[in-house]
Amino acid sequence: MQLEVIGVGGAGCRIADAILERESEQRRFVGDAFAFDTDAESTAALEAIPEQHCHWFGDTIDEGLNGNLDRGFEVGEEYVDELGRILDEGRPSLADAFFLVVGSGGATGGGVVPHLISRLQSVYDKPVYVLAALPAKSELRTDETAGIDRQATADSAAGVGEARPMAEENTVRTLKRIDGLADAVICFDNEAWLHTDEKLADARDRLNRGLATRLEALFGASAAAEGDVAETVIDASDVARILDATDGTTTATLGYGAQTVETDDGGSRFGLGLIPTESSVDTTEAVSAVETTVNKALHGKLTLECDLEDVNRTMVVVGGPPDWLNRKGIADGRQTVQSETGSAQLLGGDAPRPDSDEVYTVLLLAGIEASDRLASLWRSPR
């Protein structure tokens, strides 16, 4: 599966950059990656996205948007054709889907993404998926509630840890605009992933890397390297069956679990790996490793917490060293997921990683009917 990854706004661009950085040389699933922002310094700080794909726009913006989402919508309408032309210069015709990444509490990403979705769907007959990062509570502080602190003020001026008192309201309005436009929205709740008393600015890189790991595990499963032979291959049509709803925009979340295992570097990995050898992995250990990662993915922290029984459709991908991908363990794991979610539709695949020493499971849980976090956003005063 090949994605056109498009980061919009500061947070969206940073996450898109982390996704491209995480992508393996052997298993490429990103066709092109773009970064669009009204802050030129922000795009210049990106490391993985090619400079020619980092685009500053908004020469009519004098002093930034300052959380003004109404102005963001105006800017989105004003510049969407310009951004669309830049995307056309990539390889959109080769992509299986567009993957827009946005910090939903910001004015730039929140204002531009709805217009960009409409533009893409009017030009290309491909799914448009959105990754929406939800704001942390600490971003909502103001000088009146947090006290005036000179260092905090200096950090804000530098774009680090700045207060965004409108972030929750912007998130609700952005998600409402996206609803019915995008095929699916995968949510990542920053608040749930922060450690106690941890600031988002300090955790940002860790959170982005963790999210990128989950996305690579899912979308990279279809990007096999030479020598990778999956028993059940995941492709773009499988992802579409889970994410694309017929009655609106699907809400989705990701679960992930991994376990380090011992691999025999001298056996089947000798030379070019062309000489087959019998597996030295104990069957019981292999089954246990798969089942452990499945349970971690189910009961560990999701990118958006939800009641598992409210999940309508699920994809289960188990990956790792081929000798550890025990078929019985994988089948039992899928049965466990089916039992605990009650999903009306469940698809599964495996992702052999001969160069890895980890067994992992990634879950794509879609069609979520209820989420306490989203419900609290809808109830927040505006």
What's the pLDDT tens digit per position in 13-31?
999 999 999 987 667 899 9
pLDDT, tens digit (0-9, with 9 covering 90-100), for 233-272: 889 999 999 998 777 899 999 999 999 999 875 334 433 3
Would you say 109 is a known binding-site residue? Answer: yes
Predicted local distance difference test score (pLDDT) of residue 350 = 93
Structure tokens at 320: 């790792």
Closest CA to 255 of 332, 179, 366: 366
Would you say 208 is a known binding-site residue? Answer: yes
Predicted local distance difference test score (pLDDT) of residue 365 = 97
**Ramachandran angles phi, psi of 359, nearest 5°:** -95, 135
Average pLDDT, the chain: 87
Predicted local distance difference test score (pLDDT) of residue 378 = 85
Does residue 144 or residue 44 have the better pLDDT? 44
What is the side-by-side order of every strand in the sheet holding 313-320? Answer: 54-56, 30-37, 3-8, 97-103, 128-134, 184-189, 250-260, 358-366, 313-320, 345-352
Integer distance in angstroms from the first to the last C-alpha of the chain? Answer: 40
Q: CA 94, 91, 363 angle in degrees (round to 5)? A: 55
CATH superfamily of 3-222: Tubulin/FtsZ, GTPase domain (3.40.50.1440)
Question: Under a CB-based contact definition with an 8 Å cutoff, are residues 37 and 43 in contact?
Answer: yes
Would you say 190 is a known binding-site residue? Answer: yes
Helix and strand counts by DSSP (H, E) for the chain = 13, 10
Would you say 108 is a known binding-site residue? Answer: yes
Mean pLDDT within 347-368:
94
Domain boundaries, the chain: 3-222, 250-366
Would you say 107 is a known binding-site residue? Answer: yes
Q: CA 194, 117, 101 angle in degrees (round to 5)? A: 25
Domain 250-366 fold is 60s Ribosomal Protein L30; Chain: A; (3.30.1330)
Lowest mean pLDDT among 130-144, 235-249, 290-304: 130-144
